[in-house]
Structure 1
């Protein structure tokens, strides 16, 4: 099981590449996805009462029993979307060439130096 998943925020934007989704577009916000899930749920089970709607919001009061636990634990349960990034070893091209990022000259360094000293670059 991958424990690197993190809950997404309501305004986060997602684009999926394939798979069955609840929204008409492959790009959507978490809020749009949850609203579409609620609509699909309404079609399946009828009107969402407060108890059914809580699956998508505040959560439902519950208790869980985890394997190896001595007793039930009280709390809330709800549906969320989670994301985990791919583990890509992305290295800055300069660092890959053995140059630390702080030692690299930028073509903009000269312009920045002039701006800090009060001299404006000549645009002609």
Structure 2
């Protein structure tokens, strides 16, 4: 039920309702973490360079965790996590992504009927300039 996974800084989120710190609904995780760090540092009078550890490699700390028999030394940092909906399959960018993923999954050659083939577009040049395929000798 709690299948949250950490997001990489270069992964992209789209949040239409309830977003904070970001004006654009589409942003990279790293941009959000940077905005959060900036917002916190702007409010803290005694912000020092070491505080950046909250958003990078972590700060040295001790944690009293459930199931342990006392304090445990380690590092702590702020990250974003994502939990995919079980009911909704991921949206694909285009059909080539689906074909490539299926090919990797079952190591077979894709059915060529399933691959994306763009149709040749009709020429939309203004007749005043002529057809670019005409021979001008």
Aligned counterpart for 1:108 among listed residues 73, 90, 113: 113
Bigger Cα displacement from structure 2, 61-70 vs 22-31: 61-70
1:116 alignment counterpart: none
Aligned to 1:16: 15
User: Which TM-score applies when normalising by structure 1?
Assistant: 0.66
Compute the displacement of 1:50 (Å): 2.3
Structure 2: state its 5+ residue gaps: 90-105, 115-137
Aligned to 1:40: 39
Could you tell me how far apart the structure 1 residues matched to 2:13 and 2:25 are? 8
Return closer, same or farther for 1:25/1:89 CA change in 2, 3 Å cut-off. closer
The Cα offsets for residues 2-37 of structure 1, whole Å up to 9 and x where unpaired, read as 531000011000011211411111110011101111
Q: Secondary structure at the match of 2:43?
A: helix
RMSD value over aligned CA atoms? 2.3
If the length of structure 2 is used for normalisation, what is the TM-score? Answer: 0.60
Counterparts of 1:1-124 in structure 2, within 5 Å, are 2-46=1-45, 48-88=47-87, 108=113
**Residue range with higher mean Cα deviation, 45-54 or 14-23:** 45-54
Q: Partners in 2 of 1:89 and 1:52 — Cα distance? A: 39
